[in-house]
Amino acid sequence: MLKSIEGNFDHPEVNQLLKNHFIELRGASPEGSAHVLDIPGLKVSSIKFWSLWEEDQLMGCGALKFLEKDHGEFKSIRVHDKFRGKGNGDKVIKHLIDEAKKLKIKRLSIETGAGKFFAPARKLFDNFGFEPCPPFAHYKEDVNSLYLTKLLDNS
């Protein structure tokens, strides 16, 4: 049974997962093209963050950043290494979409990398119906980034 906890950045396992995420994405993104947030960056009031647990084991995490009243952006989506390759990315995305709907978000967007390292993430977002879009919010055209968006059916 999947359990979500909002905003528990200080839990040691969550903290380590986010640190690993930050280090890995910084390493996989060319200089000037890394848009991953560190923990202080995730603690701003425009962001809601959840850790997801299977029993008592940290499965993953993800965040929603409010860009406008009804437009949100996915941030810091990560599946713990021991849960990778088992469809758990789908669970994280589904949880974030469900939370976005509760928050009356009508459009979700994401920036992800254009390189080979990010291919699994792009496939995951494609499976959920995200489509390419122009840069949004503060983003600029960048050959190393891909911008995706999806309208939510809030009915």
pLDDT per position as a tens digit, 16-70 = 999 999 888 888 887 778 888 889 999 999 999 999 999 999 999 999 999 999 9
CB half-sphere exposure, 155, CA atoms < 13 A: 1
88 token code pair: 């758990």
The residue with tokens 């991953």 is 36
pTM of the model: 0.93
pLDDT per position as a tens digit, 57-94 = 999 999 999 999 999 999 999 999 999 999 999 999 99
Cβ(50)–Cβ(62) below 8 Å:
yes
Residue 155: which pLDDT band, with cuts at 50, 70 and 90?
low
Question: Cα dihedral sign for 71, 76, 79, 85?
Answer: positive
Which domains does the chain show, CATH number per domain? 2-151 (3.40.630.30)
pLDDT value for 147: 98
At residue 81, what is the residue type?
D
Cα Rg for the chain, rounded, in angstroms?
A: 15
C-alpha span between 20 and 107 (Å, rounded):
29
List the single range of 7-11, 74-78, 108-112 with lowest mean pLDDT: 7-11
